[in-house]
């Protein structure tokens, strides 16, 4: 089961790259150009429906950059959530600060520090939202 979920980490990695590029380039929203969004139009969330046995979809929050991966039924039928942040004192993001919230028709400001990520499944600790995928199926960086 964990190998099935591991396929989803490739999609999370791609989505994280989109968020990093958009935050560093002054885009309108963190999801611009990903999935069903158009570059430069608004701060809408993106949704990428994946034609895979293991991954159902990948969504990026246009306002805060959070990436949500939804797995298929044969891969645990849950979500992993990767949350961007800056600062923090450890690998769990303790003391981290969320990225600036995107505002409609306003370019994102350049981050003042390196963007880090915390991926979480059920029971994971640290910065950010918790997904619904059982931790026994999640990759180590999401537990």
In tens, the pLDDT along 114-129 reads 999 999 999 999 999 9
* 39/48: higher pLDDT: 48
Q: How much is the average pLDDT of 68-73?
A: 97
HSE, CB side, 13 Å, CA atoms: give it for residue 39: 9
At 35, the pLDDT band (50, 70, 90 cuts) reads: confident
Q: Are 100 and 71 in contact (CB under 8 A)?
A: no
Q: pTM of the prediction?
A: 0.94
Share of the chain above pLDDT 90, in %: 83
Asked if pLDDT for residue 42 goes beyond 80, the answer is no
Is residue 53's pLDDT more than 80?
A: yes
pLDDT one-digit tens code per residue, 82-119? 999 999 999 899 999 999 999 988 999 999 899 999 99
CA 67 to mean position of chain CA atoms: 2
Q: Tell me the C-alpha distance between 83 and 98, whole Å.
A: 8
Q: Which fold has domain 2-142?
A: Glycoprotein, Type 4 Pilin (3.30.700)
Find, among 42, 21, 40, the residue nearest to 110 by Cα: 21
Residue 129's pLDDT is 96
Position 41 pLDDT exceeds 70: no
85: enclosing H helix or E strand: strand 79-87
Mean of the per-residue pLDDT values for the chain?
A: 93
Spatial separation of the C-alpha atoms in residues 21 and 90, rounded to whole Å: 24
């Amino acid at each position: 089961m964990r190998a099935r979920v591991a396929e989803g980490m490739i999609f999370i990695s791609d989505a994280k790259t989109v968020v990093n590029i958009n935050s560093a380039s002054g885009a309108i929203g963190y999801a611009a150009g990903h999935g069903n969004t158009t570059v430069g139009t608004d701060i809408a969330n993106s949704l990428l429906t994946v034609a895979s046995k293991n991954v159902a979809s990948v969504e990026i929050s246009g306002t805060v950059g959070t990436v949500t991966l939804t797995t298929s039924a044969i891969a645990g039928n849950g979500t992993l959530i990767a949350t961007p942040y800056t600062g923090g004192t450890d690998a769990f993001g303790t003391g981290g600060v969320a990225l600036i919230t995107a505002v409609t028709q306003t370019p994102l400001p350049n981050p003042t520090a390196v963007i880090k990520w915390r991926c979480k499944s059920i029971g994971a600790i640290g910065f950010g939202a918790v997904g619904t995928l059982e931790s026994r199926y999640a990759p180590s960086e999401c537990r």
